[in-house]
């Protein structure tokens, strides 16, 4: 099963580090993770990234949201898309625990 990683990016200067740490932790726990920002460069518009990221989400079977996802319009849109598709949804808490939604 492949999991899409989602969380707050806009307004978080350390989002790359946060996503990298989450990907590493999840991989260590046995999850196969698609980190949508892994090979992206900055400088494009929000809508540009959302279109690319929704395409990436569609290649996955579930979504893992970082705990700050509710503060992100994009992560909420990704969660809503995953819900509509019937995906399994998990939240990675800041303490490293994973819960089902």
Query: The domain containing residue 84 runs over which residues?
Result: 2-100
Is there a contact between 35 and 5 (Cβ–Cβ < 8 Å)? Answer: yes
67: which strand partners?
A: none
What confidence tens digit (pLDDT) does each residue in 52-67 have? Answer: 999 999 999 999 999 9
**Which residue has tokens 């991989």?**
27
What confidence tens digit (pLDDT) does each residue in 13-35 have? Answer: 999 999 999 999 999 999 999 99
DSSP-derived 3-state class of residue 23 = helix
- Predicted pLDDT at 39: 81
Encode 52-76: b = buried (16+ Cβ within 10 Å), e = exposed. Answer: ebeeebeebebbbbbbebeebebbe
- The CATH number of whichever domain residue 90 belongs to comes to 3.40.50.450
- Number of domains within the chain: 1
- Predicted pLDDT at 99: 97
């Amino acid at each position: 099963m492949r999991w899409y990683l989602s969380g707050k990016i806009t307004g978080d200067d350390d989002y790359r580090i946060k996503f990298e740490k989450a990907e590493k932790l999840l991989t260590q726990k046995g999850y196969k993770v698609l980190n949508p920002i892994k090979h992206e460069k900055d400088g494009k518009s929000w809508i540009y990234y959302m279109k690319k990221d929704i395409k990436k989400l569609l290649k996955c079977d579930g979504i893992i949201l970082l705990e700050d996802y509710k503060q992100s319009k994009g992560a909420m849109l990704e969660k809503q898309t995953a819900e509509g598709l019937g995906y399994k949804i998990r939240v990675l808490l800041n303490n490293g625990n994973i819960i089902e939604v």
